[in-house]
Structure formats: C-alpha cells, structure tokens
Copies of this chain bind each other. A is one copy, B any other.
Amino acid sequence: MKITEKDYYIQEDKMYVATDCVIFGFDEGNLKLLIFKRRVKPLMGTWSLIGSFVRLQEDVSEAAERVLKEITGLENVFMEELKTYGTANRDPGYRCISIAQYALIRIGEYDKELVERHGAHWYDIDDVPNLVLEHNQMVEDALARIRRKARYKPIGFELLPQKFTIPQLQRLYEAVYQKKLDARNFRKKVLSLNVLIKLDEKDKSTSRRGAFLYKFDKSKYKKLQESGFNFEIS
C-alpha cells in the first residue's frame, strides 16, 4: 500500500521530521523559486516550499528527492542540504523539525504538466510571497549559501541549459550577486578556469551577431570542484 501524507495521523508525543526544498531556477536573467501550497494541516493551503515528511523507512535525502520528483518530474538534479530548522515551537500543533535542502535546476527541463497539476508556481526571487512558518528565512539562507558557494564552485552550470553562452552565464552571476559585472573580466576569468568547450554553434536569440555556445567539460569540472578553486568576482 502506498503511503501518502494523508495517512500520517499526528500524535502530540511524537517527533516529526520533514524536509523542505528551496528550488532555484534561472530564466531570462532572473533567479526564480518554485513553491506550492502546503498539503498538511495546520495552515494547509498557504504558500510553502516544496516539502514532505520524512518517512520512517527512507533516508532524509530520499525524501527530498521523492518530493522533488513528484512535483517537477526531475531526478538527479543538484541538491544539497542547507541546514536544520529545529526550534521546538516552529510548527504549531506538533513537534516537527525540518531539514532544508536547496536544489538548482534547469528551468527548461521540468515537467510543466506535473507542476501545474500540483499547483506549484515559479516566482521571481524578488517577488516571493509570504511563505508558511520560517520558509522565507530558508530562502534567504539558501541565497546566502549559493552566493558564498559561487565563490569556489561554478554553480552556474547546474542552472543553465546544457548549451549556453558566456553572456548568459554572466547574467546568471549578475542575478545571484545582484550586481553588474564587467564583461571583459568576466569572460577572461571564466575562460581561465579551462572548463568550457566552445561549440561551433551560435545562439542568435539576443543579438544580430550571435554569441557562441559553450558546453562544459565534465571531467575537468569535476577535478576543479575537488581542488577547491577560487572564483571570486568583483
């Protein structure tokens, strides 16, 4: 028998463990967040990060992957633990801690039909409505995390399509850091990392001239990740 959220019946003397996922996408120069309506009482129907209780027989990370797949159809996306929200009184009615995760997904690849069916929506990161419990704080914390992380890991690659242009990558970094970057220095820095492969194709959607598409070299990228490089940009 498949267990669904509705099968949980809340006992006051139990500790519940949930996971909530801050799902980031990037589209048209803007960083976006996917949210849906809370499926459990109390506060059912309020805007909420995409989350679920962790079942007794599954790993915490599996719970996060399960719910991400359920809502977006996506598997094997970049997802990492953010931190635990564990104050005693955070969820009214029963004791529940939440282990927040954040995911970076390619916004072109999710299952639109599924997302719609679950009433989930993408919001510009600057227009996120009030969320249930401390979920807005989770979003803040996740943003701070990716800002820091972008300094030593090339986060861009999880959020962009497989083929992308350097100006596109720059706009992503500009969205993350909320500031304009110098195109010449940005290009120089990115290329100096030596993880991009220039393709013989151009993307002409944003200019007459067109910008060359790049993909990135997964094996070099992995090595770079392990060695912990420095990608500070001003």
Residues of A within 8 A of B (CB): 13-17, 54, 56-62, 81, 83-84, 86-88, 95, 97, 99, 148, 228, 230, 232
Nearest to A16 among chain B residues (CB) is B15
CB-defined A-B contacts under 8 Å, sample of 21: A15-B16, A15-B17, A15-B54, A15-B56, A17-B17, A17-B86, A54-B86, A56-B88, A56-B95, A57-B88, A57-B95, A59-B86, A59-B87, A60-B84, A60-B86, A60-B87, A61-B86, A81-B84, A83-B83, A86-B99, A230-B232
Q: Which of B83, B87, B148 contacts A81 (CB 8 A)?
A: B83
- Complex: how many Å from CA A13 to CA B15? 11
Contact of A58 among B57, B58, B81, B88 (CB under 8 A): B88
A161 to chain B, nearest CB (A): 30
Closest to A230 in B: B232
Q: Is the CB of A60 within 8 A of B13?
A: no
Collect the chain B residues with CB atoms within 8 Å of residue A148's CB.
228
Which residues on the B side are within 8 Å of A87 (C-beta)? 59-60
Query: 5 closest A-B pairs (Cβ-Cβ)?
Result: A60-B86, A59-B87, A84-B99, A56-B95, A59-B88
Q: A145 → chain B, closest Cβ, in Å? A: 12
Closest to A100 in B: B84
Most chain B C-beta atoms within 10 Å of own C-beta, residue among A59, A61, A232: A59
A185 to chain B, nearest CB (A): 18
User: Which residues on the B side are within 8 Å of A84 (C-beta)?
Assistant: 60, 81, 84, 99
Q: How far is the CB of A232 from chain B (nearest CB, A)?
A: 7
A189 to B94, CA, bound (A): 51
Interface-centre pick from A83, A86, A148 (highest chain B CB count, 10 A): A86
Residue of B nearest to A60 (CB): B86
User: Please, which residues of chain B bring their CB within 8 A of the CB of A15?
Assistant: 14-17, 54, 56
